[in-house]
Structure formats: C-alpha cells, structure tokens
A and B are shown apart, each in its own frame.
Chain A
C-alpha cells in the first residue's frame, strides 16, 4: 500500500451486473471507485438507495465479483487483493480480518442464538467458555432476553433477528468491519446501543465502512463521509 497505515484500499473498482436471463442487459453500478480507510476511521457512504453502497460493501467482502480494480486488505501482515485472491485466502480474510453485518440474518434452523453469535470466535481460537461469556454479554447489551438465547432465531421478529446479527458481527475483534444498514428495523433504544458498539470498536482501532440510512446514527459515528456517485471519491 502506498500508505503503510491504511488497512483497506479500493482502487479503480468497476462492477457491472449482466443479466443473462433477461436478454443480457447490463447494469453498471460501480464505475471506478477509489477509497482508502485507516484504523479507527468510520467511513459512511452517503449515496441514495440503489447507488451501489451494498455493492461496494459486498465486493470488499468478496461476496460480489468486480470486473476491474483492486481491493487491498491488510491481512496477517500481508496485503491481499480481494479481487483476485484464491478462495482459501478469501475465507481466511473473512475469518480473521473482515467482519460483515448485512441487512438481515440468514437463519439456519435449529441452531441456538448463542451459538450463532459466538461462531466467529472459533476462528480466533477463543476457548468455548470465554466465547460464550462474550456472546452472552453482547446479547444482554443488545437487550435480547435470556430466555431466547437457547432458541433458534427462526421465530424472532425482524428487529430481534437484526440484533442477533449485530451481536454476531461485533463479538469478535475484526480489524475491519463492514456495516450494511445496521440499524434498519431497530427502535431508538437499540440504535443507541449500536452507536455505542461502533464507538467501542473505533476505540479499538477498528476500521469501519458503512451504509447508514439513518442520519442520526450516521452523524453519531462517522468520522468521514464518502459518496460513490459518479466517478467515486476518495476523501
């Protein structure tokens, strides 16, 4: 990286969707995005819906495959390009370097909430008891009643599921966190807790990139705002 301290560098990222099942129409979403993120920063993407915020976050996580560009991530002391890295490396990055909180929880039936939450800690080699302790603390903080911890989130409300999702996202200390509308479907009190969690993470020098629809949340946590609109801007 040109700057030794940046943990995430996006260079010239292009992403176009080609819908073969619909006659091959093309939807260009990202046109040459550049972005550099440092530890302790919270970069808020400010574009309107449908402009590619999710697409950028998913591309960084290698959930989407860009056509062109580089996504450089500091991982285990080396530099990995998420665009052309092999699957093993990508999985390793996801296990230990980049955490991703999507807009909804993908529920696996029969897995208790607590197990869902602590699962990321496995990759960090955290002992089971310690992991469960952290999971419980986080669930309590997010105001998920204890009687729900042993149940699968399958029957939870949207808000409850999202809070479980957040717990899972924040339980481990990822150096980089990607947050895609983390407070959608949450009430005011929960939003406040999320703000605290983000601030705690920033205090730990986590680098955060997020899409925050809610202006209040955005203003509370963002250290920088960026717009992807047009040719993309790096602040």
Chain B
C-alpha cells in the first residue's frame, strides 16, 4: 500500500499551488510566489517542476518526462518513476501520446497539441536578476514595465561579440507585457513558445515562483530591429535519422575525437527511424 497521498503532496498544498497556477495563467509571464514544499529531491534538480506536475496530474493523465530532450537520462528516469509510484498513472516516451510533459532544458520537436500541458523546470525565474539583486526592486520594475535594462544586456552582448551571446534561457516578452525567462531551453526552442496550442507552466522550487503562458499567447524573443532574433543552425543532419532543422547534440564516439550529431529529442529520432 502506498503510504503517500496521490502525487505525494497533500491536498491543501495542491490547492495552494493550483491557485498560484490559476493566477499565473491569468497574468501571462508574471511570477507568482508560492509556498514551495520540501520534496524528495534537492533544490536544483527540478523541485519546482515536480510540484507543479504533482498539483495538476490526475489519474487519467499520461505523463512524459524528459531531460535535455531524452527520456532515458538519470533525472528523467527518476522523476518518471517517482510519479509512477505516487500516482500510478500511465507514462510514455511518445510526445503525441502524453497529456502532461515535464521537461528540463528542451521542448519536444514534435509539435504540441491543444490539451497538452508542458511543465518546465526553472532554476532562476527572474530575468532582471543579472542586473538587480534586490527582489523589492525587480518587482517594481516588472510592475512599472521598466524593462530598458533587458535591452541593455542585449546591447552589451552585441557590443562584445557582434551578436547576442545568450544561447539558452533567452528572455522573451509574453503577451506584450511581462518579460520572462523561458527556463534554460535553447533559443532554438523559443519560437515554439509563441502561439503554442499547449498550456506552458513554469516552476522554480528554490526561488518559490510559478509562472505560465496560456495557450495561443504571443511570446516574442527580445531583439533589436537591426539585430533580429535568430536560432541555431547546423550544417549536419542527424546521424541516426537524417533529420534537419532539429536541435542536435554532439556526441563523442571514440578516443580519437570522432564525433557525431544526433537529435536531442530521443523520441522524435526514434519515431523517424520507425521504432
């Protein structure tokens, strides 16, 4: 007999988190504080994402968990097993079969559909933290839309490197109002956030913040008129499935420096190979 409540958290906690989620959905991109609980994994390993998932998961859900695009890395496996044990829900590696996807560092290549929920693990939710260490001040800046400094950051990048160096966790403007960090997904995935049919939820456990992007919301990556936002491109195609225009991992294959590029999204790659 499972000694834990369904999905580990007690019902009051789930309600508290759901209220935070509702508020976050009502104000796209706005960071809602919540009472982050102690979870059976350390800070920095996805406690926020796990709490969000635990609050929204129901017995009929089908859960997929990925880490860096792969279903079979240690963290993805641990978290998936955690939910199997505490909820008994069906799990899957197939993106299109999942109703609930918890992810760290990637959005699946397979297009999302209406009715799906993606939960992102967020280390630092505050996009202005690099510049302003005071929480009191950053809250004011968000409230007053004082976002000039975000473009200062981009300006500095272009000055120093000729282009914006930020390759992941690239700041975005949500619904034309709040600037948000989309979690450490590569900027390659940013366009997937814009007008997505899925509900996107973001949980930061250590920082105790939840934010959300409701379906079909505009999400624009910050840029300059004369330095528009661009995504990564590879010359190679996937060594396993031949896909182009996907985000790829570079894998070292031998001691002589041999390397190959493969899809980071393992499910996507397998599907293409007919498995």
Q: Do A and B contact each other directly (Cβ–Cβ < 8 Å)? A: no
Query: Which residue numbers of A lie inside 8 Å of B, CB to CB?
Result: none
Query: Which residue numbers of B lie inside 8 Å of A, CB to CB?
Result: none
